[in-house]
Each structure stands twice: as structure tokens, then as C-alpha cells.
Amino acid sequence: MKNVVTLLLLAGFSYSGIAQKINVKEDSIMLSKIYSESLTNGYAYDDLRILCKDVGSRLSGSLGAEMAVKWGYQTLKSYDFDTVYLQEVMVPHWVRGNKEKAYLTEENGKIHPLNLLALGGSVGTNGIISGEVILFKTLDDLRNADKNVVAGKIVFVAQPMDQHFPAAFNAYGNGFEVRGSSASIAAEKGAKAVLIRSLSLSENDFPNTGVMNYKEGIDKIPAAALSTNDATALEKLIGSSSQQLMVYLEMDCRMLPEIKSYNVIGEITGAKYPKSIITVGGHLDSWDVSESAHDDGAGIVHSMESVRLLTALNYKPQHTIRVVFFMNEENGNRGGKAYANIAKEKNENHIFAIESDEGGFTPRGFDFDGSDKKYTFIRQFLPLFQPYFIHQLDKGYSGVDITPLKSQFSNVGLFGLVPDSQRYFDIHHNANDVFENVNKRELQMGAASISALIYLLDKYWGEE
């Protein structure tokens, strides 16, 4: 602790917008109280259990999403916010329909059921379709393929997430295009449907869904993700066999007209700078195949718990602190865009925003997207976090929901909570993302870390 004190005492705060020099002793005591309150008297785990078990999946436009809005509103009302309200947003309404079914058949008569999920936004098959399955090891292989080879076939893109990346989210970003673009590329070459390997770093029987996109002017074909176990088996079977392999596929998914939904917002008015806003949030919607405990139930409870911890410790913020449960992050980001647009229309002053959307695992730090001035400012806080094993405070990506604020408020500083990511893609967008796979202490540490960051930002940044 002596080294921490020395580092912080030597840190000069000469930038405009910073209220005062750091008080190491006072801040160390406050952070200790925040973490202690979260770990011994936290609400996050119980709130997450209710969201997961009583509400469940909450895909935009669904009854589950509507119930999640009601739950979010009532839960925020039960805490000490000055005001709680709903912000209207129109969202897409895609439905999965009856459970997808698919089979692989060999010429010798063997039949293999396939574990798969339709990708979000995909069209259905309009009954049963069948076709010879053709393998492409990478998306680029498909992109470069001859149309005559692809036409009339069911395409299988076997490209995996890249295991070389130490940070799992870098591997996800590297493979994101496979999910998003395979259908349109295959359709341009006359394919009947496309299958991809699920975006996961582990081998399991649980396929991962997620949003895909169709290119304007190209026929829409069905798109689905195979479990990694089935994808590996299929790739080996195609590679070792000269026989014709057929896939039979039935998907009932479809897009319905847009529907009205809401962001849920609670705020505490700042005592000194009420017009300057610090936003903290996660997304309330989810995919439809699980309870979505990590993605993003954890972010929802992180957000409201981070503010509750401060009120429980009788901290009175200088700036207005706003908790936002964003709707429709998964397949449109309508909530994030609406929030930023309405904020601009109201001529609000947004100085910082924090998002939690990488799960409820052990927190490691924050990624920051903002000016060099603000980056230098927030780096001064890192030694205060070290006793809590928070070591990362680097420039990077913040989050889907808060990124639209950048286009409306050029000086806003954006943070994304960074938990340990190694297990995240074992459960991401699949049936394993349930409450039982969230560790209570890890979740509570995440809430405390966000709360500590809000406290420091609020205390030491003035008014822009």
C-alpha cells in the first residue's frame, strides 16, 4: 500500500475538468467499503436469479422481453433512484418458431442428427429442404469458389475461432464475419442454405446462435450454426469420404413486423453538476435459447448494483448518475442508438459511460475509448484498484450500447468492463448461459469494480 500511496501522491492533476487532487487515504477507505459492501451484503446475485428464473429468455419483441422491462422498471423503483422511467424504442421482431431439425445422411444409409440453431435474422426453409453438403474450410475459400461448384448445394463453412488469441474476445472479433456474411456470400453463388461452425473456443454439443445479415439485393437463404462437436465430426467425415453426403434441414424462423419496446432508465441527480451525466448500463434483451445469465443478465445487475452500493454507503454524487437497461443490443442496437439520439435532442452533457457486456466472470479491468486527456486522467486511478486484482486500464472497445454516444458527444469517455474471458464462449449465445453458471463472488466483484470507477470519475472530474 505504501507504493500505491507514493505513486498517487506523485500524480499531478493539472487537467481542466478535474475537480481536485486525489485523496489517497480517503479513496482507499471508500473503495474498501464498496468492495466489502458488495461481497458481504450485495444484491446482484439475488437480482440475477430473479431475472433468469422468473423472466428467462428475452429476445427483442418477445413476451419475455416485455416482462423484463416490467421487472427492470419495478426493480429500479424499489431502489433509491430519484426517478425511474421508460424510453420508447421500436425493435425488430424475429422468431425462431418450432425447433430446428437437421440430419446428415450417407450413401450407405447411415443417418446422423445434427445439433444446430438458426442464426438470428435467418429466413426459414418453408418446409423441408435437402441438398448435397459441400465443405469450405474458411470464409475466403467460399468467397473464392466457382459458382458452378456451389449452386444447388448446402454450404458448410468450417472456419473456427482462432485459438491463437490470448484474449477470447479478439478471437470472437476475428470470426464474427463468418456468422454475419456466410449466407449472402453463399447465396450469391446459388447455394440453398449455409451452415457454419459455432463461434466457440471449446468442443461441445451446444450450438451458438447470434445475429447474421443479408446483403441487399441478394436472395435470402437459411443460415444455421452447428455445435462445435458436430462441425468437427462433419468436417472429418467430408474430408475422409468420396461419397455424396446429404443434409436435410427444417427451420421455422421468420421476421415479423417491428414492435414497440423500451429502454429502462433510473437516475440519481448530481448535487453539483446535475446536467453532466455518467451512464452505466447493460442490455436487457437476450437470445431466446437460454436464461442469458452472463449475456447480459450480469451486465444488468452489475449496473444497478454499482449505484446501489454507493447509495448504501451514503455517497452523494456530484454528477447525475444514470443506469440504463438497453433494449435490442443483440439484433439491432436500437436501444443504444435511441438513447444517444434522444440525449442529443435534449441537449444533455454526457461525460462518461460504462458498459458491462462481457459476462459475470472475475473482473480484470476496463477498456477505454476516449480522448488522450481523459485516458491520462483515468490511468491515475489504476494503483487504487490493484488490491482488488484490477490491472487492466487500456485503450480499447467499450460496448455496443454506449458506442452511439460517440457520434453525438465527441468528448465522451467510454468504458467497457473486462472480466476474464477464457470461459465466456463456452456459454455465449447457447443453452449453457444459465444462472447456475455464474459465480456469486465473481459477479459481486464486477459490480464493486464498476461502482469504484463511478465513484472516482464522479469525485475527480468536474464539469465540461
Task: With CA atoms as reference, report the closest residue to 304 among 119, 97, 80.
Answer: 80
Q: How far apart are the first and last CA of the chain?
A: 33
Helix intervals (H) in 346-439: 372-379, 382-385, 405-408, 424-427
DSSP string for 178-243: HHHHHHHHHHHTT-SEEEEE-S-SS--S-----B----TTS----EEEE-HHHHHHHHHHHHH--S
Largest CA distance in the chain: 78
Separation CA 443–CA 423 (nearest Å): 14
The C-alpha cell at 400 is: 455496443
Backbone angles phi, psi at 437, to 5 degrees: -95, 15
266 membership: H or E segment, kind and range: strand 254-268
Grid look-up 447493460 returns 282
- Are 323 and 283 in contact by the 8 Å Cβ rule? The answer is no
Residue 384, amino acid: L
Residue tagged active-site, from 37, 250, 305, 329? 329
Task: Determine whether 107 is an active site residue.
Answer: no
Active site (catalytic) residues? 329
